[in-house]
Amino acid sequence: MTDLEKIANEINNCTLCDLHKNRTNAVPGEGPEDAKIMLIGEAPGYHEDQQGRPFVGDAGDLLTKLLEEFANLKRDEVFIGNVLKCRPPDNRDPNDEEIEKCSPYLKKQILSIEPKLIVTLGRFATKLLLDRSVKISKEHGELEDGEYGGWNCKLFISYHPAAALYGADVGKKLENDFEKLGEIAKDLNSFKTTKQTTF
């Protein structure tokens, strides 16, 4: 069993918060173990809950299109995860405590993959990883030096595909974010990463 499969098992069996009680499936991250880019969404929606896989509903279709048509990346070459690994379909607004309880799984996935670049889609992931409040409308499209759970790498902030689907007039900005991601992805091999060691 690979490390990622072990983590997925832990996630599927997790009972740390009450969200596991009413969801259909937990939604571990998905993608190649040696992915250089890790994309982090917010939380599963209805289709993800039904299928136990990240980004398989409308937001997932849009994400695939943005990756392929604007970033020139294949969906199956990036690792795609979420901040929250389970969310019952009637819970649209995860609270801080649920996010906190779930965050060790995100850390384990990051440390297992050791990506060169993390892409945060939306405010939960960006806030959690940068450890500060973030205004996506101002900071989207920015590349930062990120540190999360002992892993240092670049972090790119993007709008979430769902923002364009449900209300906000950000379609063009989202496309620009993914075009920029495509440009950044060309330089991945020159990015330095480090793991912090504790003594």
Cβ atoms of 77 and 32 within 8 Å: the answer is: yes
| Residue among 55 and 105 whose Cβ is closer to ligand URA | 55
| Residue among 82 and 173 whose Cβ is closer to ligand URA | 82
SS3 87: coil
| Residue among 90 and 198 whose Cβ is closer to ligand URA | 90
Q: How far is the CB of 119 from ligand URA (least distance, A)?
A: 12
Q: How far is the CB of 58 from ligand URA (least distance, A)?
A: 8
Q: How far is the CB of 82 from ligand URA (least distance, A)?
A: 5
Tokens linked to 160: 């979430």
Q: How far is the CB of 40 from ligand URA (least distance, A)?
A: 8
DSSP states of 120-155: EESHHHHHHHHTS---HHHHTT-EEEEEETTEEEEE
CA distances from 148 to 29, 128, 182, 195 (A): 17, 9, 23, 10
Q: How far is the CB of 18 from ligand URA (least distance, A)?
A: 20
| Residue among 41 and 115 whose Cβ is closer to ligand URA | 41
CA distances from 183 to 67, 70, 73, 84 (A): 12, 10, 10, 29
Cβ atoms of 25 and 50 within 8 Å: the answer is: yes
Name the residues that contact ligand URA, by CB under 6 A: 41-45, 48, 54-55, 59, 82, 162
| Residue among 83 and 184 whose Cβ is closer to ligand URA | 83
Residue number of the CB closest to ligand URA reads: 41
